[in-house]
Structure 1
Amino acid sequence: MPRPTIPVVSYSDLLSTTGARQRAIAALGQALEDIGFFILEPHPISPEVVRRAYQVAADFFELPNRTKAQYAPAPAGSQDGFSSFGSEQAKGHTVPDLKEFWHVNRHSLTENMATWPQEVPTFRPVMTRLYQQLMTCADVLLMACADYLGQPSDWLVDMAAGGNTVLRLAHYPAVSTVPAGGLRAAPHEDINLITLLCEATAPGLEIFAEGQWVPIQTHPGQIVVDTGDMLQNLTNGLFKSTTHRVVNSHNINQARLSMPFFVHPRPEVDLSPEPTLIQRTGGEPQFPPITAADYLTQRLREIQVGPAA
């Protein structure tokens, strides 16, 4: 069986005032209907900002574990600061993922957080700039999604305004042994509206499409974009939230860094399937009425990082 291909959408076309914009919107929407993923190329994120972000992330993750541990958030499970190796596991899996990570969220940028790593002075300004550029890009993509769905252009942008969108700096270190069933990231779906993923430093990302695992390796100048569960719920399944994973490297001495940007709605946003999209998908709601806050709390418990029920 031939492998499915991931459609490519031009960011510059999405900003066009000609027919190119409508063609790009159609390509974006069809990709999220069919496979739940597309590649954005070109994109507006500065290559120098991406390069510097990976460098300062590497500088942080090279710190001793006891130093990194002091930046763990309180309470545990908060979507900011440092999370140690093996602290998260995918929904439905019992073996923790082989990764550690740092979360930059909206509150990180607006509050005087003590959790910014003092050992890496450039960490905060570099990550702030990357976060802001990714958010600007995400707003354009959310407008395109809304237009494709026949909703007001600001429909999804308004939901995300003030939401606790998270930039995750994920480090998959080289490991000497891999536990039975252990993966860098076990098969899962994202929780949020959409995710933007700058090119990682090594291969490993795979999506499950048409009954097979399909490797995706982004290159400089590309961003992988996918639908999260919240947008799938809101669109009554018109946009697919596709299962994906990060497999272990054949070379266990090869570390990997990636920087997914998880775009979240505000906690009070109603994610119940939109009535016009229920009609577009067969006339019956396929997903439950739920708020973004309840959805997130439920999922964090399922992946063992939220408060106990």
Structure 2
Amino acid sequence: MVLTQSIPVLDLRDFHASGDRRTNFIIQLGQALEKTGFFAITHHGVDSALIQQAYQVAEQFFELPEAIKQQYEVPELHGQRGFTSFGQEHAKDHPYPDLKEFWHVGRDLLAGHPLTEHYAANLQVAEVPQFHPVMTQLYAQLEVCAAELLKACALYLGEPETLLSDMIQESDTILRIIHYPPIPADAHPASLRSAPHEDINLITLLCEATDDGLELLQRDGSWLPIPALPGQIIVDSGDMLQQLTNGVLKSTTHRVVNPTGDRCRRFSMPCFVHPRKEIDLTPLPGCIAKVGEQQFPAITAGEYLMQRLREIGLAE
């Protein structure tokens, strides 16, 4: 049986083409983010073998004894680097914790770089030496892909091509490596692997997960399953892009449901693409004109991020 994707599927090669192929790609990307907030991208430039290697080293880490994993959970980092243990994060306004544990990889900076004062250093996993080199290579490839998608997005909005991609240069973009273990017998019935939420950032690139479970909330109130298909990266727009575009592009509620009938585990790797903290997220004048009035307040990306991290339990 051939599985088909439930959301629009775009080919990044079309953006690098000329004429109608490029124009149609820009229109299809923009309309997908305007209508559903989600699309899938193929021929994205991210090495599929590297993705599989990343999942292999992730499994090696998450299979380590709990006491060893917790050595990489540093409270003063507020979950922004290293390990976050099972049940620590919850969705905004959801009282029960998500049934997951995860690791965060941020930007690697050279010694003496001015941003080392502002960005925490990545943690190295001594027990899995390949973990950090593999994840930083994946981070770099995902960021290149994200910049191309943001260029297409800016053109759809009628803005200069590099307006959005410039915002993510040397930003604190985060690669999250998630392990959803088998559902514990004592888990609260209302707990999900990931409760309904919207992403905080500009856009998210989700490497093909090891199992299904992702669903998006449609405008009619029903949930649409998004299958994890080989060769596809799932892309969704976050709250910051919705804010910046005055609601023209939608940040769509999504969740990861618990498996039915078995207790299988699941891995996924979303890359949360952030603007630099000083970036002004006041809605763009062109988007205000399109909507008719300003729907969102003036705020910087840094202020916005801290507000949301407090809401989901990752900052005090």
TM-score normalised by L of structure 1: 0.95
1:87 corresponds to which letter in structure 2?
Answer: Q
Q: Aligned match of 1:144 in 152, 161, 164? A: 152
Deviation at residue 119 of structure 1 after TM alignment: 0.3
Q: Which residue of structure 2 aligns with residue 87 of structure 1?
A: 88
Between Structure 1 and Structure 2, how many residues are aligned? 303
Counterpart-to-counterpart distance in 1, 2:23 and 2:124: 42
Q: Which residue of structure 2 aligns with residue 272 of structure 1?
A: 282
2:69 corresponds to which letter in structure 1?
Answer: K
The Cα offsets for residues 80-129 of structure 1, whole Å up to 9 and x where unpaired, read as 11000000000000100000000001147877947211100111111111
Q: Is 1:99 the equivalent of 2:100?
A: yes
Deviation at residue 72 of structure 1 after TM alignment: 1.1
The Cα offsets for residues 246-287 of structure 1, whole Å up to 9 and x where unpaired, read as 000114420000000000000010101111110111x21111
1:54 corresponds to which letter in structure 2?
Answer: Y
Check the 8 A contact 2:41/2:234 in 1, yes or no: yes
1:286 corresponds to which letter in structure 2?
Answer: Q
The Cα offsets for residues 139-184 of structure 1, whole Å up to 9 and x where unpaired, read as 1001000010111111001111111000000000012323121000
Deviation at residue 22 of structure 1 after TM alignment: 0.7
Q: Is 1:306 the equivalent of 2:306?
A: no
Check the 8 A contact 1:76/1:305 in 2, yes or no: no
Deviation at residue 79 of structure 1 after TM alignment: 1.1
- Helix, strand or coil at the partner of 1:75: helix
Ranges in structure 1 where 5+ consecutive residues have no aligned partner: none
Counterpart-to-counterpart distance in 2, 1:98 and 1:108: 32
Counterpart-to-counterpart distance in 1, 2:263 and 2:56: 19
Q: Is 1:190 the equivalent of 2:191?
A: no
Ranges in structure 2 where 5+ consecutive residues have no aligned partner: none
Q: Which residue of structure 2 aligns with residue 242 of structure 1?
A: 252
* Distance change (3 Å), C-alpha of 1:109 and 1:68: farther
1:240 corresponds to which letter in structure 2?
Answer: K
- How do 1:193-212 and structure 2 match up within 5 A? 193-210=202-219, 211-212=221-222
- Helix, strand or coil at the partner of 1:38: strand
1:42 corresponds to which letter in structure 2?
Answer: H
Counterpart-to-counterpart distance in 2, 1:73 and 1:16: 46
Q: Which residue of structure 1 aligns with residue 34 of structure 2?
A: 33
The Cα offsets for residues 8-55 of structure 1, whole Å up to 9 and x where unpaired, read as 111110111232011001000000000000110232111110010000
TM-score normalised by L of structure 2: 0.93
Counterpart-to-counterpart distance in 2, 1:202 and 1:160: 30
- How do 1:211-222 and structure 2 match up within 5 A? 211-222=221-232
- How do 1:1-309 and structure 2 match up within 5 A? 5-107=6-108, 113=121, 115-177=123-185, 178-210=187-219, 211-281=221-291, 283-307=292-316
Counterpart-to-counterpart distance in 2, 1:136 and 1:113: 21
Check the 8 A contact 1:236/1:285 in 2, yes or no: yes
Check the 8 A contact 1:199/1:220 in 2, yes or no: yes
- Helix, strand or coil at the partner of 1:57: helix
Check the 8 A contact 1:107/1:164 in 2, yes or no: no
* Distance change (3 Å), C-alpha of 1:51 and 1:109: farther
Counterpart-to-counterpart distance in 2, 1:50 and 1:44: 11
Deviation at residue 304 of structure 1 after TM alignment: 1.1
The more displaced of 34-43 and 231-240 is: 34-43
Counterpart-to-counterpart distance in 2, 1:49 and 1:222: 14
Counterpart-to-counterpart distance in 2, 1:22 and 1:246: 33
* Distance change (3 Å), C-alpha of 1:223 and 1:74: same
1:175 corresponds to which letter in structure 2?
Answer: I
Counterpart-to-counterpart distance in 1, 2:181 and 2:261: 11
* Distance change (3 Å), C-alpha of 1:66 and 1:219: same
Deviation at residue 218 of structure 1 after TM alignment: 2.1
2:285 corresponds to which letter in structure 1?
Answer: P
